Amino acid sequence: MITDLKTVKAFSIIVIILFSSVTISLINPDSKVVDTAEAQLITFNSYMDFQYDTTPLSKPLEIDVSVSMQLTVRFWTDIPKVFGRIPFPLNNLILFGQSVGPMQRIRFEVLNPPDWANIYISSPDVLLDIPLDSPDSDEKYSYGTVTLIVSPKIEAPATSQKIQIEATCEQIGKLKGTSRQETIEFTPSFIPTVQINVEEPVRTVGPHESVNFNVNVKNEGNKITRITPDVVTNADDWNPTINPPQVEVAPNSDSTFTFSIVSPFEFGWHNEFKTFEIKIRSEVYPYRSGAANNTQSIYLTVNNLGFSTPGFEVLTLMVAIFGIAYIFKKRNNNIS
């Protein structure tokens, strides 16, 4: 009895579809309004959603390294299951206007991909069977899988980024097309890259003389970078200071810090020099655990004005005076 009722229902739908199509076409086959009305009466809807695991994109992505993530599309329709009881090929002729049942083509696309990354869908077209609506059954779904490829370039900003993926399918017969968009997030890794320039890295000083070295640091990395200089050389008797002690520099911007020292009183009387090593650490700002960092050293040198010894000038003068006096005395004795 139930089987008979389903059969009657199926054929009732067929009759309604055929009657509606013929009647509306006869009334005014050229009217767009009529076409719209016909479409509302005898079309069915398509649906889709995405299923994916974002684990491959959960960590900062290395520069120039491709990362793959699987995207699965789930496709279904609201075509009543009773159409499955209509004899072949009549069911396909009614639904799709052709005797052979077609497959639905779903095309994936990355919307507005950025210039600083290679982002694309590998094999973006998927062919799926067109399922009938089967409530409470997984048979109502068709599944297809594509691969999303993401490869950040060196120019990629090391901040959270969003990309949009769109999947679309066109209308086939009385089955309407549909589209679906999904937003996926990822973060390119931080590349700590700085360029360091020093004005006059070698300076000449005398005793107890102050010297200022200006050190310019340019951030060539892909995110705000914190720059921290540190004096490695033991230089307590030189009263070393660095101002500012720390600075945050935006990408493609620069900043200058000053390394100041005061030479000791005993420096400058001998032919000597002093070299200071300063390590400059660059790290992401704000700080992020596990982010890359870099440290590089610069060397600043001071030397004295030349050979000189405290009191040596006076001693030399006294020796010269005594020498001259001795010579005159000796000459006077010879005359006498």
Band of pLDDT at residue 328, cut at 50, 70 and 90: low
Task: Report whether pLDDT(118) > 90.
Answer: yes
Separation of alpha carbons 92 and 77, rounded Å: 15
Band of pLDDT at residue 301, cut at 50, 70 and 90: very high
Architecture of domain 194-303: Sandwich (2.60)
Q: Which sequence spans correspond to the domains of the chain?
A: 1-42, 44-186, 194-303
Tens-digit pLDDT profile for residues 6-18 = 555 555 655 555 5
- Show the tokens assigned to 171: 């209308």
Lookup result for tokens 């109502």: 140
User: How large is the average pLDDT for residues 295-302?
Assistant: 96
Q: Supply the pLDDT for residue 292.
A: 86
Q: DSSP letters of 185-238?
A: EE-BPP---EEEEES-SEEE--TT-EEEEEEEEEE-SSS-EEEEEEE-S--GGG
Band of pLDDT at residue 333, cut at 50, 70 and 90: low
- Show the tokens assigned to 17: 């579809």
Lowest mean pLDDT among 91-95, 167-171, 214-218: 91-95
Who wins on pLDDT, 9 or 277? 277
Who wins on pLDDT, 88 or 242? 242
Q: Supply the pLDDT for residue 317.
A: 59
Who wins on pLDDT, 256 or 318? 256
Tens-digit pLDDT profile for residues 172-230 = 999 999 999 999 999 999 989 999 999 899 999 988 999 999 999 999 989 999 999 99
Task: Report whether pLDDT(37) > 50.
Answer: no
Tens-digit pLDDT profile for residues 39-59 = 445 899 999 999 999 999 999
Q: Do 194-303 and 44-186 have the same topology in CATH?
A: yes
Residue closest to 227 by CA, chosen among 216, 235, 240, 236: 216
Q: Supply the pLDDT for residue 29.
A: 45
Lowest mean pLDDT among 39-43, 120-124, 313-317: 313-317
Length of the chain in terms of residues written: 336
Residue closest to 62 by CA, chosen among 213, 212, 201, 222: 222
Task: Report whether pLDDT(102) > 50.
Answer: yes
Band of pLDDT at residue 139, cut at 50, 70 and 90: confident
Share of the chain above pLDDT 90, in %: 61
The CATH number that domain 44-186 falls under is 2.60.40
Band of pLDDT at residue 27, cut at 50, 70 and 90: very low
